[in-house]
Chains A and B, each alone.
Chain A
């Protein structure tokens, strides 16, 4: 079930909300937790056709593993935790990377054909990572959960289940037991946050996605300079508004239940360096990789050279986490290398050997790099990636952009016209969406007065002051209501969220 579907908005959500608050107020948190866990599993099971049982098995296994670690003798705790994490990783590897591994064996002639094909279960990367973090926290004695319904809810909680944010046990459990009881206020702020997220998805991400799909779809052959840049920009905007829209919707839905989720985005396209970009983009994945991979690998504690290797390793694994394919590895490696270079530059600047880059230059360089790196993330294979990069570098030649009437003008002038056509309205829309990404305040800033989500330590101020903050008055209610209504009208055909596939 999608957040941007009428089934969810008009049937599932009202039923879940009404029963949850009724149970909480009349029977207490034990029953409301049980209801929410059951409703969350239902939410998952009706959308997952291949392996609806997998999440239940995964929850039971990790719950048991958590208890086993807690009960284990001090000298065996590490072994039990390592075994539990290994089982999680093996499961993830099988469901996510089996097909890819088989393809590689076929490519080198070690296998003739695939023995079987594995369907990727929805949300497996998210709920596996959430539980690996839990196991690590239990091992570190910062988490422990004895109640199965509470643990089940922590993993399957429907606002975050399919595409995050990736949660920490310690930030959620106290809230499940004692959610914020300010019902009208939470519903109002939650609805406002949800409206912003839905508008991002259907009014900004989906139109940008149409342009990106058209361009990347044509890139198997050849793609011109202008089309390659427009298509890449469109994808960069699509993925940002799609994923941050989803995160806003998740935060809004959760607020309606009186529970705050961690904030996942903080205007990443305003970042003036790649290091800042990663403190603003997919924050809960970034902190997971930092806390459970980069720091255990040694972080920056073992010298400069080792630090760069750790960064590269972390980002490559982060890339592969997104999907089984060389393109994701390339994307991760590019970001790892860029972070290593940025750290090196920053260290040199501190020693006065190089000058610090002006903010505007840092921003332009970061955006240029991020856009170029989105190409392998979106392209179905390395061939299309190379074609797009060649187009962006002008190696496929320069021709007249085929935008609406401009194509006709090019024809009259007798110059070559690019094969990928864009409508004037589409390109104008893309320009407007770009301005929103770069100049507009983000959701947390708009909702600054109400602390809509949890901050992550080390990720800076997530809601710096802005002139455009939502107030609790009739004008705001009118505007948000209008936006929600328009966004609901714009829900058209089936439009999945990009991060569902990860």
Chain B
């Protein structure tokens, strides 16, 4: 008994240390996502090695290569070849809008990165989600005080420690039919198409689902004003002048044109609204939304903007022309 009473008294200081260390480790501003950590490490390597480089951020559209493509280069590799300059690929599959813009902001602050390509999908402007707190704190330090890194604004939106989830990732109902969340959609709709899709991997065989998925990606959620403003602010940073190229990524208009007229009109209206915002704000963007024609999109069933070799080549050439033109 006496030993336990003594132990009890001795436990106060270790308990305090335990809680303090746990809290500091938990809150330490470093991304929790492994894939984010990997690209941060790549940027660090780029900063430590001499020679001017181009950085490309973005989601799986950048790195996706169709199984049917003879040319296995992804968009980063094509840009590198077209520009004859080394490219640091900071893209990864599933990169959320906030991550993309923050990584671009971080790249602008990274030594030896001369030019930053920021490809943004139109659907991304509607993703009112948020990174986990630790990643947000990291980017606050690494990318600067963008509105998306404002902790107060985050709490104001009711997003605390857990990351927020984009509306289009959740389950939804369209025309009376219930669709599962993104994981469910992947197994129920994407996987069967992916497994059985012959070459070339264009289009999809479930127009009912594709219509619903266009709707939840491009029509249902409204663009998040803070996202539009953050891209504008990034473009207006002194460090971005002559160094940042914003690319509005291709939308599968050949696919959209097969959809009902009202949906087509809604998708076009969404795209035009985003373009108008940047035009009014006098932000120079490369509008590649309608750049890619039929045969340029791979995996049309997933409405994810993946490109075939012709699509990737068209984007890379447009980017190279823009960057080359800008010097």
Binding site for B on A (CB under 8 A): 5-6, 10, 182-185, 187-188, 191-192, 195, 472-474, 476-478, 480-482, 484-486, 488-490, 492
* Assembly CA distance A476 to B4 (angstroms): 18
A481 partner residues in chain B, CB cutoff 8 A: 17-22, 25
* Assembly CA distance A482 to B25 (angstroms): 6
B11 and A489 contacting across the interface, CB-CB below 8 Å: no
A473 and B26 contacting across the interface, CB-CB below 8 Å: no
- Across the interface, B13 reaches (CB within 8 A) one of A6, A187, A474, A484, namely A474
B18 and A192 contacting across the interface, CB-CB below 8 Å: yes
A489 and B18 contacting across the interface, CB-CB below 8 Å: no
B15 and A485 contacting across the interface, CB-CB below 8 Å: no
B22 partner residues in chain A, CB cutoff 8 A: 191, 195, 480-482, 484-485, 488
Tell whether B199 is near chain A: CB-to-CB under 8 Å.
Answer: no
- Across the interface, A191 reaches (CB within 8 A) one of B12, B15, B28, B32, namely B15
A482 partner residues in chain B, CB cutoff 8 A: 21-22, 25
A489 and B14 contacting across the interface, CB-CB below 8 Å: no
A488 partner residues in chain B, CB cutoff 8 A: 22, 25-26
* Assembly CA distance A489 to B8 (angstroms): 29
Closest 3 CB pairs of A and B: A485-B25, A481-B21, A477-B14
Nearest chain A CB to B216's CB is how many angstroms away?
20
Interface size on B, residues (CB 8 A): 27
Tell whether B153 is near chain A: CB-to-CB under 8 Å.
Answer: no
- Across the interface, A472 reaches (CB within 8 A) one of B5, B11, B19, B134, namely B11
Tell whether B265 is near chain A: CB-to-CB under 8 Å.
Answer: no
Binding site for A on B (CB under 8 A): 4-5, 7-15, 17-26, 28, 32, 134, 160-162
Known: A481-B25, A485-B26. A6 touches B15 (CB 8 A): no
Nearest chain A CB to B181's CB is how many angstroms away?
11
* Assembly CA distance A182 to B32 (angstroms): 36
A477 and B162 contacting across the interface, CB-CB below 8 Å: no
Apart from the given pairs A184-B15, A477-B17, 4 other A-B contacts in the complex at a CB distance below 8 Å:
A182-B8, A182-B11, A188-B11, A481-B19
Nearest chain A CB to B192's CB is how many angstroms away?
12
B32 partner residues in chain A, CB cutoff 8 A: 489-490, 492
Nearest chain B CB to A387's CB is how many angstroms away?
17
A486 partner residues in chain B, CB cutoff 8 A: 25
Query: Residue on B with the closest CB to A183?
Result: B8
A184 and B11 contacting across the interface, CB-CB below 8 Å: yes
Query: Residue on A with the closest CB to B7?
Result: A185
A478 and B25 contacting across the interface, CB-CB below 8 Å: no
A485 and B24 contacting across the interface, CB-CB below 8 Å: yes
* Assembly CA distance A476 to B21 (angstroms): 11
Query: Residue on A with the closest CB to B10?
Result: A472
Query: Residue on B with the closest CB to A191?
Result: B18
B14 and A472 contacting across the interface, CB-CB below 8 Å: yes
Query: Residue on B with the closest CB to A195?
Result: B22
Known: A482-B25, A484-B22, A485-B22. A10 touches B161 (CB 8 A): yes
* Assembly CA distance A484 to B15 (angstroms): 12
A478 and B8 contacting across the interface, CB-CB below 8 Å: no
A-B contact pairs, 14 of them (CB 8 A): A5-B162, A6-B162, A182-B7, A184-B12, A185-B11, A188-B15, A191-B15, A191-B22, A195-B22, A477-B21, A480-B18, A481-B17, A482-B25, A489-B32
* Assembly CA distance A476 to B22 (angstroms): 12
B9 partner residues in chain A, CB cutoff 8 A: 184
* Assembly CA distance A416 to B24 (angstroms): 50
B25 and A184 contacting across the interface, CB-CB below 8 Å: no
A182 and B5 contacting across the interface, CB-CB below 8 Å: yes
A489 and B5 contacting across the interface, CB-CB below 8 Å: no
Nearest chain B CB to A224's CB is how many angstroms away?
17
Chain B CB within 10 Å — which of A195, A481, A492 has the most? A481
Query: Residue on B with the closest CB to A485?
Result: B25
* Assembly CA distance A473 to B10 (angstroms): 8
* Assembly CA distance A301 to B254 (angstroms): 78
B161 partner residues in chain A, CB cutoff 8 A: 6, 10
Query: Residue on A with the closest CB to B5?
Result: A182
Nearest chain B CB to A485's CB is how many angstroms away?
2
B134 partner residues in chain A, CB cutoff 8 A: 489
A188 and B25 contacting across the interface, CB-CB below 8 Å: no
Nearest chain B CB to A191's CB is how many angstroms away?
6
B24 partner residues in chain A, CB cutoff 8 A: 485
A484 and B18 contacting across the interface, CB-CB below 8 Å: yes
B5 partner residues in chain A, CB cutoff 8 A: 182
* Assembly CA distance A482 to B17 (angstroms): 10
* Assembly CA distance A184 to B11 (angstroms): 6
* Assembly CA distance A344 to B4 (angstroms): 46
A476 and B26 contacting across the interface, CB-CB below 8 Å: no
Known: A6-B160, A187-B15, A188-B14. A485 touches B21 (CB 8 A): yes
B4 and A182 contacting across the interface, CB-CB below 8 Å: yes
B21 partner residues in chain A, CB cutoff 8 A: 477-478, 481-482, 484-485
* Assembly CA distance A183 to B18 (angstroms): 15
A485 and B23 contacting across the interface, CB-CB below 8 Å: yes
* Assembly CA distance A474 to B9 (angstroms): 14
Nearest chain A CB to B136's CB is how many angstroms away?
13
* Assembly CA distance A478 to B13 (angstroms): 11
B4 partner residues in chain A, CB cutoff 8 A: 182, 185
A184 partner residues in chain B, CB cutoff 8 A: 8-9, 11-12, 15
Query: Residue on A with the closest CB to B21?
Result: A481
B23 partner residues in chain A, CB cutoff 8 A: 485
A472 partner residues in chain B, CB cutoff 8 A: 7, 10-11, 14
Nearest chain B CB to A194's CB is how many angstroms away?
10
A484 partner residues in chain B, CB cutoff 8 A: 18, 21-22, 25-26
Query: Residue on B with the closest CB to A449?
Result: B7
* Assembly CA distance A182 to B161 (angstroms): 31
A480 partner residues in chain B, CB cutoff 8 A: 18, 22
B17 and A478 contacting across the interface, CB-CB below 8 Å: yes
A5 partner residues in chain B, CB cutoff 8 A: 162
Nearest chain A CB to B170's CB is how many angstroms away?
13
Chain A CB within 10 Å — which of B17, B22, B162 has the most? B22
Query: Residue on B with the closest CB to A480?
Result: B18
Query: Residue on A with the closest CB to B187?
Result: A217
Query: Residue on B with the closest CB to A181?
Result: B8
B17 and A474 contacting across the interface, CB-CB below 8 Å: yes
Query: Residue on A with the closest CB to B160?
Result: A6
Chain A CB within 10 Å — which of B20, B23, B26 has the most? B26
* Assembly CA distance A5 to B18 (angstroms): 19
Chain A CB within 10 Å — which of B20, B134, B160, B162 has the most? B162
A10 partner residues in chain B, CB cutoff 8 A: 161
Nearest chain B CB to A195's CB is how many angstroms away?
8
Nearest chain B CB to A151's CB is how many angstroms away?
30
Nearest chain A CB to B287's CB is how many angstroms away?
35
B160 and A476 contacting across the interface, CB-CB below 8 Å: no
Chain B CB within 10 Å — which of A5, A191, A472, A478 has the most? A472
* Assembly CA distance A10 to B25 (angstroms): 15
* Assembly CA distance A289 to B22 (angstroms): 40
B13 partner residues in chain A, CB cutoff 8 A: 474, 477
Query: Residue on B with the closest CB to A6?
Result: B161
- Across the interface, B18 reaches (CB within 8 A) one of A182, A477, A492, namely A477
Known: A6-B160, A182-B5. A188 touches B26 (CB 8 A): no
* Assembly CA distance A185 to B161 (angstroms): 29
* Assembly CA distance A314 to B24 (angstroms): 49
